[in-house]
Amino acid sequence: MDWTEHLISFYNNLEPPEHLPHGIDWLYPQKDPATFQTATSFFKKFYSDCHPRQILLGINPGRFGAGVTGVNFTAPKQLLEECGIEHHLGKGTELSAEFIYRMIQAFGGADVFYARYFIGSVCPLGFTRDGKNLNYYDDKDLMTSIETFIVHNISQLVSFQTNTHTAFCIGGEKNYRYFNAFNEIHHWFERIIPLPHPRFIMQYRRKTLTHFIDQYLQLLKND
C-alpha cells in the first residue's frame, strides 16, 4: 500500500457520528463522488509512493477550500493552477489556501513540498452552523460528541509512513492546545510545533506576509 491507497482508504472509511448537537451539520465533501474523484487525482499525482512524510494538521475543513475540493487548504483555484488537477469545481479561492500555496511556491513548488509533507486536519471533516464555518473546538457539546472520532482518525492517519518525531499544527492557539492535549494522552508524536493560522495572517498581518512565509519555511526545513 502506498500513500495514495492509504489516503483513499482513510477517506473512504470515515465513520462520523450520526448525531451532532442541534443546528450543527457535517461538512463532508468526500461523500460526493465527483469531489472524491478529484481528490483521488490529487493523491495519485503527489502521493503514489511509500516515502515517509511529516504531517501538518489544520483545524477542520472549511466551506470554500477543502469543503469544496476534498484537499486540505486547497481551493479550486489552487487545485488547478498550482497542482495541475483539472476539475469542474469552479474557480473559487479562499485566504488560507492563498497563503499556503504562496508558502509552497517559496518551498519549491507542489511537487517538492508534497514529496515531504501531508496536510491534514485534526478533525478530517468540517462543520457548519447557520451556513457558516464552525471549528471543532468552538462548541463544547460538539467537542464531546466527536472526540472519539478525532482520536481514531488521527491514529489512522499516522499509522502509515509518517515521521512521528515532529508534527506541525496549523493554528497556534486553540488548535495547538487541543491537538497537543490529545498527543500527550495518545503519544502519536514526540513533539508538535505550532504554526500561525493562514487566515489570521492574510486578514490581519498581510503587510508582513513574507515574514510569516519565512517563518513557515524555517520551521519546516530546520526540523
Query: Which tens digits make up the pLDDT trace of 54-63?
Result: 999 999 999 9
Place of cell 511509500: 50
Q: What is the mean pLDDT of each run of 10 residues along the chain (223 residues)?
A: 95 93 94 93 97 96 92 97 95 96 98 98 96 95 97 94 95 93 97 96 95 97 80
Q: Which three cell numbers, joined as nine digits, stand for 177? A: 492546545
Three-state secondary structure along 4-59? HHHHHHHHHCCCCCCCCCCCEEEECHHHCHHHHHHHHHHHHHHCCCCCCEEEEEEC
Q: Within 13 Å and on the Cβ side, how many CA atoms surround 51?
A: 13
Residue 76 burial class via C-beta count within 10 angstroms: exposed 0-12, middle 13-18, buried 19 and up: buried
Nearest alpha carbon to residue 61 among 10, 137, 120, 143: 120
Q: Which three cell numbers, joined as nine digits, stand for 116? A: 515531504
213 within 8 A of 221, measured Cβ to Cβ: no
Q: Which three cell numbers, joined as nine digits, stand for 5? A: 491507497
Give residue-wise pLDDT tens across range 100-155.
999 999 999 999 999 999 999 999 999 999 999 999 999 999 999 999 999 999 99
